[in-house]
Amino acid sequence: MILHAANHSLLRRGVFATLVAMSLAACQSPQMGAPEYSDTYAVKPVLTNYVLSTRFEPGTGRLVFEHEARLKRFVQQYHRRGRSHLIIATTRDAAGDDAQMHMGQFKRRLIEAGVDPKSIHIQPGAAPLGGDSNVVMSFRGFDVEVPECGDWSGGTGFNPGNLPHTNYGCSYQRNFGLMLSDPGELVKSRDADPSEPNRILGVMGGYRAGESAEAELPTID
């Protein structure tokens, strides 16, 4: 009789412990996305070599017509992302007999397009012979790796802990990375353009004198 009562007591304790465990498990929130989404879905700048293989018209300092648009895009990319000198390596026969003069013409074109002349490094004869190209332009800059989104493994309906979803912050990080004009800014910012001290001093002087800093609107008769 005593043994039967002891077994019954142990059974009740076991059932009680099981119910407590189930209750605690039900109260635990599901583990989903981490709140620090900038670490979970990192935007990564990647140092890259940008290269344009093209060719000059024989005996001139101009590229073949079908490559002019490529040159324009390449220079725009250099302005946006360039973190090195702009290297122009040519083959020995790149610009004909007057190669030096024609390369000078090409360099002036780049300067007119806004490239700093100190950043242009010409390397005559450094490009390999063969193929359709007789000039190879290159610079180093940063590209970007963005996260791939679409992890729907987390629960979307039942979330009593109000925890972030598995995709939390991914689309924001991805869009942010794709909108970067220069991903290298995440590594090191560029040097600021030189200021115009005379303009700054003039505006400050006018402000102290109580003059209006607004532009005057044209009058219409």
Q: What is the 3-state secondary structure (H, E, C) of 172-201?
A: HHHHHHHCCCCHHHHCCCCCCCCCCHHHHH
Tens place of pLDDT per residue across the chain (221 aa): 444 555 555 556 655 556 545 554 444 444 555 568 888 889 999 999 999 988 887 767 788 888 889 999 999 999 999 999 999 998 876 655 667 777 888 899 999 999 999 999 999 888 877 777 788 999 999 999 999 988 877 766 777 777 778 888 899 999 999 999 999 999 988 776 665 666 677 778 877 887 766 655 455 54
State how far Cα 175 lies from the chain centre. Answer: 11
Q: Which fold has domain 48-142?
A: 60s Ribosomal Protein L30; Chain: A; (3.30.1330)
Cα–Cα distance between 31 and 37 in angstroms, integer?
14
What is the structure's pLDDT at 29? 42
Strands 44-54 and 135-145: antiparallel
pTM, two decimal places: 0.65
